[in-house]
Structure formats: C-alpha cells, structure tokens
Chains A and B, each alone.
Chain A
Amino acid sequence: MTDDVRELLERQARWQKSRKALSWSEKVRLAEAIRESILRLREAREPKSSESRAEPAPTRR
C-alpha cells in the first residue's frame, strides 16, 4: 500500500468517525437525504405509466 492510499484511507476513517459523532437528529437528517435519493433513483428506474401503456406506432404497409 502506498503512502497516498494509506493517507486516503486514514482521512476516510477520520471522516467516518466524525460522522458517527454527530447528534442523532443530524444523523436522522442525513438518513432522510439518503432515503430521498433512493426513492428518486427508484422512480427514475421504473418506466413511466404513460410509456408502459403507449400503443406501438402504426406501421405503413
């Protein structure tokens, strides 16, 4: 492991530790933000109802 990688991991560990030390209400607010992101991602993945109901375009013969 290079010094750069070790330093990066140590910084990450410090950040994670500081996050754990936040108050419960602050951490709940973060969880709310995570939740909103998950819901938006789910919505983006699901096909829109208008798309799923759309009939195929008529073909010219």
Chain B
Amino acid sequence: MSGKWLARAGKVWLVLILIFLYAPIVIMGAMSFNASPFYQLPFEFSLNWYAALSGNDAIRTAAIRSVGIALATMVIATALGTAASLAFFRYEFRGKFILQTLLFPPIAIPWLITGTAMLIFFFGIGLGRGTPSVLVGHVALALPYVIVVVSARLATFDRTLEEAARSLGAGAWTVTRRVTLPWIMPGVVAGALFAFAVSFDQFVVSYFLSEPGDATLPVLIYTSIRKGFTPEINAVSTIIIIISMAVMLVAARFSNFGGDR
C-alpha cells in the first residue's frame, strides 16, 4: 500500500520538477505577447514587440551574425571533429589516451577562464576582438562535442566492413566515403547540430571576444538586460529558445540519446 503511495508521490515530484524547468520559459514567452511593457497583468494579447523587433536593426544584424557564426562553426567543427574521430577509431598509436584526455579541458574548464585566456592570447598575437576571434573560439568549444558524439556512433560500426571493402580493392578514401561515412552519418548530423547549438547559445566566450559594435545575439541581450528590461528582448529571447530547443530535439533524434532506436 505504502509502495503505491510512494510511487505516486514520486511521479508528482517529477511533474513539479518539469514545472520548475519550464514555467519561467513559458511565462517569458507569454509575456512577449503581452501589451504592457512592464509585464503588467491582466494579460492583453499584442504582437507589438515582435513588430518592434523587425524594425530593430541592432537586433537583426546581431541575429544574422549569430546564425552566420553558428553555421561556420558547424561546418568547420564537424569536418575537423569527424576526421579526428576516424583517426581515433582506426589507429592505435602512442599518446592516443593523452590526446583523448585533452578534449576535456575545453568542456570542463569554466568558460570564464577560457574566454578571458582567449582574449589575452588573441590580443597578444594581433587578432584582437571581433567576429574572426569569436569563430575561432566557438569552433574550439564545439570540437570536443563533435568528437564525442561521432565517436559514440563509430563504436557501433563493424570494422570488418572496412577490411572487406579494402580487400576488394577499395582505396582508403573510397572506403571512408562509400562505407564508413554512410554508416556514421546520423552521428555526424547529430554532432553538427550540437556544434551549431554550442555556438548559437554561447554567451561567455563571445562576450569577451566580440567588439562592442559587432556583438552576437546573446551578447546584445546581456548588455540590454543590464541597461534595463525591454519586452523586445523578451520577444527575441523567446525566438532563440524555440530555435535552440528545436535544434536539440532534432539532434536527439539523430544520436542515440534516449537509448537505441
């Protein structure tokens, strides 16, 4: 009897956690459709803030820049990361363990430290602040994720298939293109989406590396929040969260996130 009661309490707890996780996001989204600029209730539906958004050049430029950087990060990190994963999968060599361990600092060290270190170094070598620096930083942050996700997919690959293709006379490049890549494609797509998300949602590193005049979207939002809330920021935040959740949902479908499919 008490077991049943406990199970029910557990489910209630789970629902409460989900409410805790989603309520603020839902409220923010709802408020972006509220006419009052001070989030006053009662709620009055309005699309004013979205209309204001389309006329806001600063936000639009920042949005285009953010998407551009995220796409470039996705392409570069996926190419470099997939190549590295293939090397880890195919070859045994000295220092392999060290190289794999070196993937953790970019993930594990707080971004505050990585970001300020990048700022110092890029200034020292004359690259300075700006979009190129932001891109270099984002690719470095995304690379370990791509390598982890693609390697996870490679672990399910039967390596005798590569040997069979090679024994039939296929060259290394043909084997990669015709045998290995098609098999690991879901992992590569998931890795690419992770890379896009890492870049698109990245705030800390972009904050230290972007020039005041050419901020990415999160950096622009942060500076706006510190100056005072505006419902326009609310509207753009709602759009961002919908995009990044959609990207992650698709990524989760491609990787074996919730178990085998």
Q: Do A and B come from one complex?
A: no
Binding site for B on A (CB under 8 A): none
